[in-house]
Amino acid sequence: MLESADGASQARQRILQATFKVLSRHGYSKFNLSDVAAQAGISRPTLYKSFSSKEDLLAAFSQFELELVREELARSLGDRSGRERLEAVLQFLVDFYGSYQMRGLIEIEPAVVLTQMGKALPALSELIAGEITGQVDDPVAVAAALVRIAVCHYLVPGGDEHLLLTQLRVAAGVR
């Protein structure tokens, strides 16, 4: 029974990774489960064993992405503390938004991306607030500002990571 559950978990992981690739290539409006199944190297019936619908898959994908962000942030922070930890959070935001591979969707489907970001911002802000608590006076407000500033740089790229880091430091009250 354990092997079966592990196999299902691996299939689910492959499907979620394939979803990222299909969304990056085709966007949300042309997204379909047949493309995901083909990218994952499985049949549609196998895909339906893990996800009952396109909406179910996209909801799971959003959670999958958030978990990946959590893991990457944890790796970036390591065992840092104090000011060093706060600086690591700021650098994480710069690096993350500078390297996120689905940036092309902004040009293909800006309205969809903005809707998705509107749903993701509270979760990202909450994640960041948890990491900067004790480092700033109002971690909830500062985290919201940090995420929104980083998102602005993501939506309107200019290759100005140094300016982004400077703006994040100002928002966090770091001199």
Full set of structural domains in the chain with CATH:
1-62 (1.10.10.60), 78-175 (no CATH)
Percentage of the chain surpassing pLDDT 70?
A: 93
Q: What is the pLDDT of residues 106-155, one digit of tens each?
A: 777 888 778 888 888 999 999 999 999 999 999 999 999 999 999 888 88
Residue linked to tokens 């290759």: 159
Residue 7 has pLDDT above 80, yes or no: no
Q: What is the DSSP string of 51-88?
A: -SSHHHHHHHHHHHHHHHHHHHHHHHHTT--HHHHHHH
